[in-house]
Structure 1
């Protein structure tokens, strides 16, 4: 390490260490440990003290037993292995406790490190690793990842976990830097540190990638990120493809890897260029290693067998107690216990666990295959064979009967042999892996959900104030009119838009008492969990409040009950804000365009229908207005055709953006620069706002062009991810809105609303106020449409005119929603009849599978 001199070695929240400084500290601790070999137990953590002690023990040749610093099992391991030295934090201070001058053990000269087999500290069974194992695996990883001296890796995994430790070893080997932290990836402080220290890489287990989704990783600006690695369990192929695609858009690679503690860390990796082609594969052996397949009696296929690995990183063997520390190598290769197949392209793919099968009522069931099946249906689970039943621990708000039927149909088991135990969250080890012994204990003590007679079981619910227990999945299904809602889905995943968003947010807030700002992108299960731990205070989303306020101001000003103008232009900014949140998802380009098209339809179709009816009844509107073309073709002398300028502007803007993003290049640019893209559109829009070169005077531009920059400002407000970007949007609002109308009050309203969007996600509120605002905001489009035909009949009763105008719009919104659901319900009914007819013609087991899949 000293040879790397003043190159940066370690960065923390508190400062930095060069390699020379790190080497000096390691030498000092190694001197304290002495030259006579002793067994050292390190209660580790992602801190400089723990890192220095780990390196000092290796440097001085002391075998090291590495365990979590916060583990309650540390005393048990101290008793089981009787270490000579115990190092860790005691009463807030880092201490080195020398329990004896020499050693009580016979230590084999090759022994360097002792790690738990699973990341747990509950079992005294340990993996014995040598200096050669550590060196060989670090070199192999550094080679296939192409680790460079200017790389800086964040410690997203614990030091005592072989995967987290391999990140440390491989980067120090190449003279790269470590960003040492124990913060979670859901902590904004982690990403601030990562950006500040110019992080280039981090590692994750499957659970880490769930947390990344919650943290809004897809929208983060990480300019120095070079690659992300994944191991520690199977990541669903769909997730591999999604994150790999995201990385390609943003300029970083995803490297999927496979390993076990018994192989020091890694045995295989999937080259980044293959992640979207073969996302289900574990890849090829790491440099220096090799695989072979051992045939299995129950799997006669020639290309399938138990995966066996050989290489210099294979452990010395296991230790069950102190006497085993004297042993040398007892294994030459590693039988992984995983069943794999070698594909024609040379890649390896896992297809199950040899020892993981359960024998239930005479049938062999692979719990991992069941977990993968449920994962495809949005259910996180852990499956265990117990006696004559399959136990399924399912996290979040699940339908136990639905899960039971799905699993039973897939496995060919009777439903009575499947026991579903809903849990708020699956228990996990410090490494992020599922704690299966804890799940087994939960299953042993849990009351089974549902009954064998087919009666409906109660799902996991979120307590909801005066409304009692509210089933969140059913609530989503009701509001969005979807029959396929699962706890892993989010509002955006289910195709929610700005219209359904209002009703959903108000009803969720009523059920849960408080909504996080990013609720629309969070899985339903997270909201259910938050309901059990969150604060019970009422709040109202700022965008919802602004929509409700703006539509009241628009109608009241037209009635002349008061004169507070600017509401429609504020609604244009809010529309851009919601467009960025609901239409610009992580879906591919075709799906995005489909969502935008659906959004245009939901605005244009009810508008054209209402205007057509009004034109037949009143003769106030021409065919060009019915077709939303008045802004383009006139006539200019009409006193009523201009009424729907806002609807036309919104439709034109959505169509223009759809046309722009239909280009693959523009789609990639928007994904790569989610904030810069709308800022550029604001700049383009300002050409017409300031009438550069007399464009408006010469061409009489439609309002969509003249005021389109407000839509883009709202879009930019939704994409502003940090303080610097929010300040930029705020400055743009303060500079460009004043002077646009020449009416200070009108401009002040638009400025205040847009600034609130930028800085204040939600406002303190009351339950009754939320319900009123929710209805008004959800119906704002329809109120805008209908009020022109309502209030003229009540001019002498202005307040009544306002109330009736709002009520008429709310009524039209309800009618439009009911009519809009008819096609989907008819299709669902036809689909159900078709599936029943198909299933009726199939044998029993196949029919059960067909029904579950349909």
Structure 2
């Protein structure tokens, strides 16, 4: 039991812990005292609070907004002294837009918004000091947060719990503390039906509230009747995060007779209908006006300095006002649906799927999503991918793969057909034990491969990526899109696709590595003349660095990945040079430093052969030095594509010799070939069509006349186009395995082939095969040696969740203090 006097003391202490300078505070929320105290403490001290659910991946938010303080269930983590943000004086809270599928878009809320909304809710619900509300919704959700604010405003009690309404412990706690209310989204009421809520004895229950999506009219009537019989009321409400939670409510006495209505505006708010073309007279977009309307959206830290954009909100709902003054929503102006209380933009879901190479139509299925798609994926994988991009549980999605997307005669999507197609059963999963594969490939303890971690989280890089992709392909029968970032649990759920599917999936970057090394060896051996493989490999290297080194992980982890990558390339290269010097004069002492292009000799026909390795290592050293800078690290996280594009522009400027260095053809084989690496880097960070198109155009223009050989230029351009636009290809399963093995051995093949193929003078084909075989053999031998000599790494867990807290902040003690009220 925690009194308001106790709460005020803890809030003051939390405010002092967060510091006097106004800062951006990311708060990982749970329904417990720790979260409540630090939320109110941050508001009391004038900070800006960004609530997010605990135990989730917040890398996108951290990457975009770079908060000054992070409060987790384990404690307060100050990321810097003071703040690097320009925060508007009125700004108080930032809430994520529910179901966002793109870059983190936040709703900016002021203290006025919070206070106005809490006061209006407390007014129409008639919240009393004797009320005690159970927290059935997370505080990171506008609905859950509004319950906290409105009850604290009236000095009422809060029963803080992480328990679900299906848990017996929830109801024991609710009865023990004489709970009077709890909030629910439509799914909550489904759960109440399952547990026999209508037979429960809850003598202190005074009212229920419902929001977060439309509750079916029949269920509204039934709960209204149940409440009338048991002595409690049902408040059906309408709102949005952009309105700090609430815009309308249906008076309880009308719930039985007008269950489809959203009711009347909240106190202090008003509606008007803006007529929309194509809808009957008196019908149009519902527009709300009130003091609780947000200041506006934030798409980047720069937006945190902006002021309010007005007190009017266009809801996007098509509505009408009935003769008795109630409002009814009859459609959507834009394609949004609500699932589990999350607002999902169907167009954004389709766009997100398209970004991952899946052409799809997506529509609503009442309480879920229906999706139909073409392309190399099965129904189960499509369902998981759709759930991932929409941010909803997978069991709310029904999916189907089709030869062609259904269209109306007008050419528009046939969404009713999508619903019918998605009603077909999906393929049952057949999971495999992937954790041992992760542990074996990455040489870490199996216990470190926890369900929420991905290949990147576990320390995977561009060198272990090939082996992992091949073994995953064997285990799953396919490679899910962006698999390297998917948690292990999602990969385990992937299962194997139906046997009727032809061939296997091969990552384009892996295929290009295999093809490029064969072209390099074949051209050097005189089997054919198809030059440009090394420059293509440079682009693939940049692509992999962008994916595996420049990740949302902390800066120290980034630097560790880069150091590991550099060592895996530089150490075997230096060892091979040292060994070669024992039996030949092909190389020079400068090659031991991987600096022949810098130190010379420049007249040797053989010392410059390892130019690709030298260029790659020194580029990686440069990237590592940049990442060691906190300023560069911050800018790269905030603007990943823009930073890569700047370096690509710089590389192209060197390609055109704007500095007047006049290196001529020598620039092909020096660090000035950096622009190929930068192009791959930019391709990895390109997330939209126009960004990919821009990188493609820059590469195409830069290649014109670069080699003076149109065939070579077209070949390199084709490779880059595949890398940019086609993340994976399907090919015979046997070829996938061979390509993976050859790609994995590309470094050792490159290092040794100069000494191998000459042994088969007059038989270039045999020399090429022998060179690749030696590279593969050395790769396998080094892998085995590394496993024997290097200790298995034990990876720390990223998140640890504590137990559930169940406490009441109530009116006992009589001191209702100013601190909670300032939280609004």
TM-score by length of 1: 0.48
**TM-score, scaled to structure 2:** 0.50
Q: Which has the higher contact order (CA 8 A, sep 6+)?
A: 2
